[in-house]
Amino acid sequence: MILTVTLNTALDITYRVRSLRPHASHRVSEVTERPGGKGVNVARVLAALGHEVTVTGFTGGATGRVVQEKLAEVPRVADALVPVSGATRRTTAVVDERTGDTTQLNEPGPTITPAEWSAFQEAYADLLHGVSAVALCGSLPPGVPVGAYAGLVRTARAAGVPVLLDTSGEPLRRGVAARPDIIKPNADELAELTGSHEPLRATQDARRRGAGAVVASLGPEGLLAATREGRWRAVPPAPVRGNPTGAGDSAVAGLLSGLVEHLPWPDRLARATALSTATVSAPAAGEFDRGRYEELLEKVAVTAEVTAA
């Protein structure tokens, strides 16, 4: 069983329009709704890969009920969301069919009370029993302490559970100091963490700050990994246009599934890159085109940067 944590769950709404124009009315050609937030997207991809997954985080209000109803329809995903008095947020993606570009609108999420945060921490500690890995993903809703992920990393490590952290800003800086097994920042998040805009140098610096392994998302340039075993770069065969929402989450799912399956790092990175790229070409956030994924998996180029980290 793999556990994913999404403190700021969401209902992801995707609109498709012929051409997005400012100050104009638009006719929507297609609408899709999915339970979302980074860890929920990770769970959906893991389940599609055949893994049993438990999802936890916060849920509340009418939107939260919709999220849970739709989550119940996903095979191999168990709902362990913790109820709160506030309303779960919505995220809205508007896809321009002409250009393939996506405009994203994200609500802040409910304000979490100290009592609700304490209840979550107790539930989280209980859920770690029998778990093979945990992913801590996404932004913090209002009211949750900025050092929340650092505490959750330490709890997982005390339970002997490998932990992957995927967040940004101060929560990432504090979380890295708690020594997660893997972090997966994008290029901007990595630069903010380390002060370096040179990805190879920045990944090494992030490891020195406490991360066991650093896997940086470089957009169409693929993934760059610095680990105890070595450094690798994984590059997709060609750029893909589409909706990038959830692409990083699919990469996390690839890394986590490779971890629990004990795959060597090059195979984990190839899987993560293929899943991420296949997600961009999928019609809805947080899904991937399986045929495209299988095709890409054979074509992802993984090269060693050095022989040792």
State the CB neighbour count (10 A cutoff) for residue 96. 17
Q: Which of 140, 164, 159, 144 is nearest to 6 (CA)?
A: 140
Q: Determine whether 249 is an active site residue.
A: yes
Amino acid at 107: E
Helix then strand then coil, % of the chain, to nearest 5: 35, 25, 35
Q: What is the DSSP letter of 169?
A: H
Distances (CA, A) of 241 to 17, 37, 238, 252: 16, 22, 10, 20
- The enclosing H or E element of 29 equals strand 28-36
Q: Which amino acid is at 132?
A: S
At 13, the amino acid letter reads I
Strands, E assignment, 132-229: 133-137, 163-166, 182-183, 213-217, 223-226
Catalytic residue, candidates 12, 166, 205, 249: 249
Contacts of 87 (CB under 8 A, 6+ apart): 60, 61, 62, 63, 64, 110
Q: Identify the CA nearest to 41 among candidates 186, 200, 247, 201.
A: 247
Under 8 Å between Cβ of 110 and 86: yes
Residue 135 CB partners (closer than 8 Å, separation 6+): 2, 3, 4, 5, 39, 42, 163, 164, 165, 166, 252, 256
Active site residues: 249
